[in-house]
Amino acid sequence: MSQSHIILVRHGEASEGWPVHPDPGLSELGRRQAAKTGDSLIEQILSYQLISSPKKRAVETMEIMSKKEKGAFQLDSNFIEIPSADIQLNEKRDWLIRIFTTPIHELPETVQGWRNNLITWLREAEGNFIVTTHFMVINALVSYIASNNQISYFHPDYASRTEIFIKDKKLIQLILGDDKKTVINL
């Protein structure tokens, strides 16, 4: 019998938006958000496997949360934000809005591949994890679990935690992170 508890933490507020900086760190508010979430997860941080998206705001969130007490955490590109490198900066906002409502089977191939990699990770995950990641990663996984036909499911707030409980490869509980109509800085 195997059990897994996966805590997906959205990174804290970024200091810059997409058009300004391709990989911003955290704002001062984002740093405070990460610290507060880290304080609430201190017991798990000491005993769970820690993973972060390689993006700076996710790495900084994990560094602040873990207070470097457990040592190194693993960077995993599976948890990087939705692929959009081929989208012009001035078109990203409209593109993302369309992606929110596009049926899964009509998503661009790069987005479908990214989503499939996340689902594969989730299906194969064994053990307990805390993952600092991004809005769309959390949505991709939750929409898959909920059998939603779109990649967008809810609006996880900055530094909120979404929890997935799996027993014998079956979902037994899903707790959504704080839902807030987040303004995505574009």
CATH of the domain at 164: 3.40.50.1240
Model pTM?
0.91
How many other C-beta atoms are found inside a 10 Å radius of the C-beta of residue 171? 12
Name the pairing type of β-strands 161-167 and 170-175: antiparallel
Domain-located, residue 180: no
Instruction: Provide the pLDDT for residue 180.
Output: 66
Q: In which residue ranges of the chain is pLDDT below 70?
A: 1, 18-20, 68-71, 180-186
pLDDT for residue 80: 95
Q: In what order do the strands lie in the sheet with 161-167?
A: 74-75, 49-52, 127-133, 3-10, 161-167, 170-175
Range of the domain at 15: 3-175
Determine, yes or no, domain membership for 186.
no
Q: Total domain count for the chain?
A: 1
Q: What is the pLDDT of residue 14?
A: 94
Tell me, yes or no, whether 183 lies in a domain: no
Please tell me the predicted confidence (pLDDT) of residue 186: 34
- Cα 53 to chain centroid, rounded: 8
